[in-house]
Structures are given as structure tokens and as C-alpha cells.
Amino acid sequence: MHERAGTPALPEDLIDVDALVGAYHDRSPDPDDPDQKVVFGTSGHRGSSLDTAFNEAHIVAITAAIVEYRRNQGTDGPLFLGRDTHALSEPAWQTALEVLAAAGVEVHIDARDGYTPTPAVSHAILLHNGAGTAEGVRTGGGPGTGLADGIVVTPSHNPPRDGGFKYNPPHGGPAGSDATGWIADRANELLRSGVHQVRRTGLEAALAAPTTHRHDFTSAYVDDLAHVLDLELIRASGVRIGADPLGGASVAYWAEIAERHGLDLTVVNPAVDPRWSFMTLDWDGKIRMDCSSPYAMAALVRAMEGDRAPYDLATGNDADADRHGIVTPDAGLMNPNHYLAVAISYLYGGARPDWSADAAIGKTLVSSALIDRVAHGLGRRLWEVPVGFKWFVPGLLDGSVGFGGEESAGASFLRTDGSVWTTDKDGILLALLAAEITARTGKSPSQLHSELVARHGESWYARVDAPASREQKAALAALRPEQVAATELAGDPITGRLVTAPGNDAPIGGLKVVTDQAWFAARPSGTEDVYKIYAESFRSPEHLAQVQAAAKELVSAALG
């Protein structure tokens, strides 16, 4: 823990924006250096221009690869292009548009020349493709002739020095590994052969191209919210909401939501600063727009303390608004797992009567087992999948999954009529759901969590990292259940050893061990020489520590 965690950023903590953008244009990556190649993680390619990991050449190559990929897939409709407020997002957005325009791709950019949250891009793709309508998913729709897809230029909650670039195919959600693997491989081929071969047009010409269209992402998203939330109830209740965009892409959206729907909603901090000078430092002393971190959210949490909290509910979003943070006067910042359990209990407990009785509850396998107990109490099917929101896409698209959520404060759910809303995480939606929950129940989400604990038991949850070599990480990802010889975990009989997810039998890239009172999951990091241990105990904090220690021993023994 950094000694200044949770305290305001100082001048020496801030990036030099000019140097960062200058490096974007001036530095050329070495395609044979693993740290400078194009690498797609669960949320696209990320890196910093200062490390020669996110530079103009990368974006030219990735965009050109996406042009080829979508052409090979027969995706001939418009591409919705959005960006967040990171300093590297605008130059990367410009580069992408120049490549797309030269390739003759129909591109839809923001009509207000503003920032576009990830869920607004997903929403636009789905509406164009006919999802979320009475007709269901159809081929084409909207002003184009075929299926749409999208690009969001964002590194999500990453520090200000980073850039990010992610692709959403026609299903509207995060691209799967088949797509990202092909795009990354092709982009790296282009880096080696020379990106100067990729056709580009100047920015001014790209903006004026007949294939470049203006799309009002904000109005389309904000106006449609009434089909997924009970905004009339929120307005009538007078719930006071404080929404902190944390300097991200949701800033204009929150202001318009308040005005359009007549909510008692205040944008806590409307400032946009690519240095994020108004932030408090995260646990490691870095500026990080992680709305699930009590350190990054420290200013909002402090404002909600005491008997004179200015709002009944406060919320935060990360830079591309695909994550949510919920702050209540009685409990401060809620643990993301706790809020997911409350949201599920509320939505499936009668608040959405038009959803299918067979609509499953989706969770990643490292999310709290409290969700399992809530699902069992509701008599609903639990659909447990590997880490990554992409796994929820098919279920949200066809309505077989009503809610999909992951432990890192990302979730989305269906419209009130049971059709798809977004197939990517929607932090704005989950923040507004907290207001609906408060309006309908008269209780804060944290109070409702206490009721769930009284019914299902209290748990203690944590994630820690342990060192691992590249060889050990590869071995961990390839583990088989029989390699775990132990029969007990922290004093309890082991009831399950999982290397595939129960919901879809997909490999989890690691190991999960389960008992009746605890579990742990171990997964290798994709970016560092560590593996991550997620663990939870329904006994005590001390028992959680025992589970974590036992997990390290079990994994070490299994790895040899």
C-alpha cells in the first residue's frame, strides 16, 4: 500500500501530455520486442506511447487489420467509432479514422464531437443490427446496408499515460479470442512489413469524406434508458443522486440524463483533464480511474460521510463508463460483489416481471459465492463462466441470460421487456439501477446487502498476487483437476476442482477449488509475472487468510 493512497494527486504525479502525445507520433515500435507488439487482452490492446507500446504505428496496423477482418467476415455496414478522455485517445481516434476513410469504410462518429462511453457504442451497434426491437436480431438495419460493428479508443480505468483500442463485432460485445487473435497477428505482420504501406487520408479529408457520418450517440442512448429502467419511479421518488464521471466519457451523458428525465441528479465533478489532476491516488500511488477502488473514490466517499450527506446515493464511473461504483451514506463504497448480489436479488425478485422465467443469472467464476446462494434462494439457474464479459454476450443477445456481472464492477442486463440492452458492460445503467432500487424499496443497496447477509451468511473476499515465471504461468493455465492431490482446503473437504467453467465448459485458464464454506481460483496474469488468487470464506477473515495460504501451497504443489 502506497503511503499516499487515497490522498489528492500532486503536480509531480501528473503526466506531461505534450510529451505523451509527442511520443505517440515520434516513436516506432520494434515488432520483434514482445513488449512493443500488438497484444489483445480481455479488453483490447493497451499500453503507453512512452513505452513504445501504444503508438501511431500500432493504431495504423490494428485498424488496417480490423478493416481486413470485418471484410473477411462479411461485415459491410457502418463502424461506430468512439473515444474516451485519455490523452492518447484523440490522436489514436484520428489515426483510426484516417485509415478507415481511406479504406472506404462507412464510419459513424459522434455528432457532438464529444466522448463516447463503451456502452453507448454497444447500444448503437445493437440498434443498427435490429437487436432490442420487436423484430429481434436481423441482418442490417438503420441507415446502412449490412451489419454494424465498432471500435472504442479507451484503456478503461488505466492510468493517464496509457492508451487503449478495442473492437466490438456485430454482436455489440467485446470481441472473442478468435477475432482478437487474428487481428493481433495481422497487425503484427503489418508492423513488420511496414505500416507505410497502409493507405491513409488526411484528417480533414477523412472528416469530410462521404463515408463519414455523424451519429448522436448521446441522445440515442439517453432517450432509450426508459426501456431498461423505471425512470418515472426514480423521478417521482425524489432520490438525490450524485454522479461522478471521474473525468471520463460519461460526463455529458449524466448531465443529459438529469435534464431529459427530470431526475434530482447532480454531476459531482464535470471537469475533464487528461492529467486527472483532481483524482486521489489509488492503492499503489498511481492515478487510476477505478470506481471500485476506495482509494480512487476517496473524495466522493468522504463527501458522503456523516449525517449531512448531500445525496441519497452517489455513483462513479471509469473513463469509458463500463464500470460502476456505488456509494451510500450508511456504508461508503460498496464492494462490487455485494452490489452485484443486491442487483440480482432485486431484478429477479419481481422487479422485471416480463423477463423469461428461464432467464439465467450470469456471473464470472471469480465473483462472490453469495451470488450462488442468492440464485439458489430465488430458484433461478446460475450460469458461471470464465473471466471476461465476452462470455455473457450470447445469453444477453438472445435473452437466455437476464443479467451478466463480473467481480471487477462490470455488468449489464436486459430491457424491461426481456430483450437485449447492451452486450458490453454498462456502468451508467448499473449506477441508475441503484437509484431505482432505492426508490422502490426505500432502502439503500448497502442496507439490502445486509439483509442478504442475514439470510445467506456473511463472506470475506479478496484477491492477492503471487510471483510466477512465464513457464509456471503456462503450466497453471494448462492444469488438470487430477493434478490437485489435496482432499481438504483450510480444514474443509474439497467438493470441486474446476479447470473449465460450469456454465459453458470453457477453459478458465487456471484452477478453481471449492468447499461448502470457501473457494479459491488461481489464474495467471496476462501482463505480469504473477498469478492471481481470488478467494472467499463464509467463516471469518482469519479463515480467508488460511484459504489464501492453502491456495498458494496447492498451486505450488500442482505446478511441481
CATH number for the domain spanning 551: value is 3.30.310.50
Q: What is the pLDDT of residue 470?
A: 84
Report whether 73 contacts 101 (CB < 8 A). Answer: no
Query: Does any domain span residue 410?
Result: no
Angle at 120 between CA 114 and CA 125, to 5 degrees: 115
**Mean of all residue pLDDT scores within the chain:** 94
Whether 527 has a pLDDT exceeding 70, the answer reads: no
Query: Does any domain span residue 439?
Result: no
Q: Residue 339: which region, alpha, beta or left (left: phi > 0; alpha: psi -120 to 50)?
A: alpha
Q: What is the pLDDT of residue 338?
A: 97
For the segment 50-93, what is each residue's pLDDT rounded down to a tens digit?
999 999 999 999 999 999 999 999 999 999 999 999 999 999 99
DSSP code of 49? Answer: G
Query: Does any domain span residue 398?
Result: no
For the segment 16-28, what is each residue's pLDDT rounded down to a tens digit?
999 999 999 999 9
Query: Does any domain span residue 231?
Result: no
Give whole-number Cα distances, 137 to 86, 129, 134, 221, 420, in Å: 33, 6, 9, 18, 10
Residue ending a domain, among 220, 250, 281, is 220
State the burial class of residue 394 (Cβ atoms within 10 Å of its Cβ: 0-12, 13-18, 19+): middle
Dihedral angle at the C-alpha atoms of 470, 474, 476, 480, nearest 10 degrees? -160
Mean pLDDT, range 109-123, rounded to an integer: 98
Query: Does any domain span residue 182?
Result: yes
Query: Does any domain span residue 173?
Result: yes
Query: Does any domain span residue 282?
Result: no
156 catalytic residue (yes or no): yes
Model confidence at 41, pLDDT cuts 50, 70, 90, reads: confident
Domain total of the chain: 2
Model confidence at 145, pLDDT cuts 50, 70, 90, reads: low
Model confidence at 531, pLDDT cuts 50, 70, 90, reads: confident
More confident residue, 376 or 133: 376
Residue ending a domain, among 168, 185, 220, is 220
Cα–Cα distance between 89 and 66 in angstroms, integer? 18
Angle between helices 445-456 and 370-378 (to 10 degrees): 80
CA neighbor of 9 nearest in space, from 286, 274, 319, 244: 286
Catalytic residue among 49, 156, 250, 368: 156
Whole-prediction pTM: 0.95
Q: What domain range is 40 assigned to? A: 11-220
Residue ending a domain, among 199, 220, 241, is 220
Percent of the chain with pLDDT over 70: 97
Q: What is the pLDDT of residue 157?
A: 94
Look up the CATH number of the domain holding residue 199: 3.40.120.10
Residue 298: all three cell numbers together: 476517496
Query: Does any domain span residue 235?
Result: no
For the segment 299-326, what is each residue's pLDDT rounded down to a tens digit?
999 999 988 899 999 999 999 999 999 9
